[in-house]
């Protein structure tokens, strides 16, 4: 087993167990606090990748992020449906731009204010989405588990399918290592895992949506998770970095670990509002 892969596994397994324990055992407020901490760390990394070279500038950026999260929490905006459609449209727009840009040379330099502003929107939407999903009456932990399984399945399946079968580049100017075969493999594993989870959950819940709705939403969430991954790749390419940080051995920084979730969470949150 390659050393890098071994290191990734040794970091990912304990982290996954901690995440699942929090989802199923922690109250909503603790999920909000843990996610807020993750978003603030991610904001520091995002500011760095956006060209905020001064430490004071990055501190100010994280401060703005903290204020936005505090407003969302104290005014209960995370529970409102108003922001969910714009959140979905935001990521669909990012996806369209990435498709357009995928086989074209990347712009030499995206303005720091644009990258920084996108970060504030992205991280705030992700926090609100996770809080909203976990807060679903009676079924919050199930749906948040669906979210992380879709993200993890897409990532793991994409990694191994891409290494074994990858031939056709997905977005060579953004992330040369990603392939369409990897996307297909990730999608297949993600949907298989969610269908298995749905079958297990039948014994505990009586009002879950049918398999066809779950698969359709799962496909959309998994595909948008790839958009989240690619969007962070754009940031790193602009900054000339391989990773967003060195927080997690074998994985890089916080953004490297949650980039796919940032896009996937608003999609699932919007889907749960519309219902099956």
Give pLDDT, residue 10: 72
Confidence band, pLDDT 50/70/90 cuts, at residue 155: very high
Give pLDDT, residue 275: 67
Query: Two tokens at 273?
Result: 């509002």
Predicted TM-score (pTM) of the model is: 0.91
Name the percent of the chain in helix, strand, coil, to the closest 5: 75, 5, 20
Confidence band, pLDDT 50/70/90 cuts, at residue 1: low
Q: Mean pLDDT across the stretch 225-248?
A: 86
Confidence band, pLDDT 50/70/90 cuts, at residue 181: very high
The Cβ-side half-sphere exposure at 239, using a 13 Å CA radius, reads 23
Question: How high does pLDDT run on average in the chain?
Answer: 88
Q: Is the pLDDT of residue 107 over 70?
A: no
100: exposed, middle or buried (Cβ count in 10 Å: 0-12, 13-18, 19+)? exposed
Give pLDDT, residue 99: 85
Share of the chain above pLDDT 90, in %: 51
Give pLDDT, residue 120: 96
Classified as helix, coil or strand, 153 is helix
Each residue's pLDDT tens digit, 38-88: 999 999 999 999 989 899 999 999 999 999 999 888 876 655 566 677 888
Q: Is the pLDDT of residue 267 over 90?
A: yes
């Amino acid at each position: 087993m390659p050393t890098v892969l071994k290191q990734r596994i040794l970091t990912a397994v304990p982290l996954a167990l901690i995440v699942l324990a929090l989802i199923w055992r922690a109250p909503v407020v603790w999920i909000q606090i843990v996610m807020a901490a993750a978003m603030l760390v991610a904001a520091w990394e995002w500011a760095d990748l956006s060209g905020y070279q001064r430490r004071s500038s990055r501190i100010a950026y994280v401060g703005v992020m903290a204020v936005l999260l505090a407003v969302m929490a104290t005014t209960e905006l995370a529970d409102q449906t108003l922001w969910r459609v714009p959140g979905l449209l935001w990521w669909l727009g990012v996806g369209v731009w990435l498709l357009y840009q995928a086989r074209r040379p990347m712009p030499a330099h995206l303005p720091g204010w644009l990258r920084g502003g996108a970060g504030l929107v992205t991280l705030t939407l992700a926090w609100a989405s996770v809080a909203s999903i976990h807060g679903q009456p009676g079924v919050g932990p199930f749906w948040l588990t669906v979210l992380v399984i879709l993200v993890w399945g897409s990532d793991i399946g994409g990694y191994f399918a891409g290494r074994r079968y990858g031939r056709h580049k997905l977005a060579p100017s953004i992330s040369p290592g990603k392939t369409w075969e990897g996307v297909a493999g990730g999608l297949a594993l993600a949907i298989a895992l969610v269908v298995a989870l749905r079958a297990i959950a039948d014994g505990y819940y009586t009002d879950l949506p049918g398999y066809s709705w779950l698969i359709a939403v799962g496909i959309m969430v998994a595909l948008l998770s790839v958009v989240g991954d690619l969007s962070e790749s754009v940031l790193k390419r602009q900054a000339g970095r391989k990773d967003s940080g060195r927080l997690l051995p074998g994985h890089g920084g916080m953004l490297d670990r949650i980039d796919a979730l940032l896009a996937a969470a608003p999609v699932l949150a919007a889907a749960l509002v519309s219902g099956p």
